[in-house]
Amino acid sequence: MPAAPAPTVAPAREAPVAPAAPQAIAKAPEPRNEQPRRERAAERPRKPRPAKPAAPAWRPEDFTVEPQEGKTRFHDFPLGDELMHAIHDLGFPYCTPIQAQVLGHTLKGKDAIGRAQTGTGKTAAFLISTIKQLLQTPPPKERFMGEPRALIIAPTRELVVQIAKDAEALTRHAPLNVMTFVGGMDFDKQLKQLESRYCDILVATPGRLLDFQQRGEVYLDMVEVMVLDEADRMLDMGFIPQVRSIIRQTPPKSERQTLLFSATFTDDVMNLARQWTVNPAIVEIEPENVASETVEQHVYAVAAADKYKLLYNLVSDNGWERVMVFANRKDEVRRVEERLVRDGVSAAQLSGDVPQHKRIKTLEAFRSGQVRVLVATDVAGRGIHIDGISHVINFTLPEDPDDYVHRIGRTGRAGTSGVSISFAGEDDAYQLPAIEALLGRKISCEMPADELLRPVARKAQA
């Protein structure tokens, strides 16, 4: 719905008002003495919000899901037609366990801390809750560009892009704008989107968000909902000081709803949760096995010098079409990708050295099947959700056992089957006991057949 331009203050959009839980709604602050900021905001170009494409006629009756024992339907929550229409489009009739539990608390306005493995649907859980909050609460009457109402912070660029993509799908029929701030992409282009329309949901990496804050382009004092995703990874990557600085710019925790998600509940994660939340509901989805039962796991004992031959022959002999290969270091990723391409296998790499615009193109090429093998580091591979990955190969075993679970979780998603193959060489086989301890079981170690260790055919080395 377009917003009418005005000389200094843009009018709020019309939105249905419904009773909301006290904590879930951050009240607009009292008028502040910030004349310089207001003058500067008034100089920004005010363009009407682009109208969303007209959707075909849809009625709630079109989305019929029969009650089923042991399952929670999205119909069982008061989500509203705009959200239900999007959920119907995505084909999600029943909630996953974490969605059912999280929504049961957050839709009542409670803060929440969630622990769940990748692929459990936690992203949709916090997005649905956030979107519902924004739809049921009118935006503040006094509103400027650069003032998001919901903030989602994630540790990696790939994860930010994936969350934003999911948010776009869930707001397809709602009058809400989603924006992303990530490093490695043109700052001015990201600034232009901020100046062209209101920002309802902002998904960002900590560093790039701080860049915008320090330049006075983004103000977080209107944030109603704040989500911290993969808090354990942000700790590991040293982002917590930046996150603290960002959170200090948001309303007090008693005036916003805060949701924190982590794959693990370490003491450090729980300490952060206590600082940033108010009496949170704690949701833990503990699978029977740490690794999904849909993933068949193998380990090959192989000399480091033979790892590439084994990788090439496995992919080539079996005709695998969508494979993720993980290595621990950026230089390993680069070498493996270069050798695969040289030997006639369509491959691409994801690492911290790859510019963000190229990462996005690479992921799209992998998703569409133009690239057969994606070689990545753990940081770059975190948060990648691509359907149809048949195999995950650990070219080198990870130093952190948790990363093993995240790696193999790229396959066998949403109930489909997948295969993980790990190469254990003289330099990394010592990582196996810690991985097996985390899994709670042994993984049988195999010797690859001689034919899988044959030299790469020269004819492939064009």
Q: What pLDDT, in 10s, does the model give residues 424-441? A: 998 888 999 998 888 888
> Quick one: pLDDT at residue 233?
82
* Burial label, 378 (beta-carbon count in 10 A; 0-12, 13-18, 19+): buried
Q: At what angle do helices 206-214 and 240-247 cross, to 10 degrees?
A: 40
Average pLDDT score over residue span 180-185: 81
pLDDT attached to residue 22? 40
Whole-number average pLDDT of the chain = 82
Q: CA–CA separation, 11 vs 83, rounded Å? A: 24
For residue range 196-234, list pLDDT tens digits in order. Answer: 889 999 999 998 899 888 888 899 999 999 999 988 888
CA 71 to CA 424: how far, in whole Å? 41
In b/e form, how buried is each residue of 147-180, taking b as 16+ CB within 10 angstroms?
bbbbbbbbbbbbbbbbbbebbeebbbbbbbbbbb
Structure tokens at 363: 């992921």
Residue 289 confidence (pLDDT) above 50: no
Q: What are phi and psi of 179, to 5 degrees?
A: -130, 155
Mean pLDDT on 73-77: 93
Q: What is the mean pLDDT of residues 108-120?
A: 85
Task: Give the model confidence (pLDDT) of 380-418 as tens digits.
Answer: 666 677 778 889 999 999 988 888 888 888 887 655 678
pLDDT at 31: 42
Tell me if 386 sits within 8 A of 363, measured CB to CB: yes
**pLDDT given for residue 383 in this prediction:** 63
How far apart CA 226 and CA 152 sit, in angstroms, is 6
Does residue 174 contact residue 128 with C-beta atoms inside 8 Å?
no
pTM score of the predicted model: 0.64
Strand order in the sheet with 150-153: 178-181, 201-204, 150-153, 225-228, 257-262, 112-115, 281-284
Percent pLDDT > 70 in the chain is 82
Does the pLDDT value for residue 299 go beyond 50? yes
Alpha-carbon torsion (345, 307, 388, 383), positive or negative:
negative
On the question of pLDDT at 177 being above 70, the answer is yes
* Polymer length of the chain: 462
Query: Mutual orientation of helices 157-170 and 81-90 as an angle, nearest 10°?
Result: 120
Question: Average pLDDT, stretch 158-185?
Answer: 90
Q: Burial letters for 195-208: b for 16+ Cβ neighbours within 10 Å, e otherwise? A: ebbbbbbbbbbbeb
Across 57-66, 172-181, 307-316, 448-457, least confident range: 57-66
Taking 60 as the threshold, does the pLDDT of residue 167 lie above it?
Answer: yes
DSSP secondary structure letter of residue 174? S
- Return the closest-CA partner of residue 363 out of 310, 322, 311, 316: 322
What structural domains and CATH numbers belong to the chain? 70-284 (3.40.50.300), 295-460 (3.40.50.300)
Rounded to 5 degrees, what are φ and ψ at 175?
-80, 60
Task: Please name the residues in contact with 91: beta carbons below 8 A apart, sequence gap of 6 or more.
Answer: none
Instruction: Determine phi and psi for 161, rounding to 5 degrees.
Output: -60, -40
The pLDDT score that the predictor gives to residue 381 is: 62
DSSP 72-89: -BGGGS---HHHHHHHHH
pLDDT score for 99: 94
Pick from 58-67, 139-148, 241-250 the range whose average pLDDT is largest.
241-250
Which tens digits make up the pLDDT trace of 303-346? Answer: 999 999 999 999 999 989 899 999 999 999 999 999 999 999 99
Contact 166, 42 (CB under 8 A): no
Whether the predicted pLDDT of 121 surpasses 70: yes
Cβ neighbours of residue 177 closer than 8 Å, sequence gap 6 or more: 49, 197, 198, 199, 200, 201
State how far the Cα of 196 lies from the Cα of 45, in Å rounded to an integer: 7
pLDDT-derived band at 258 (thresholds 50, 70, 90) equals: very high
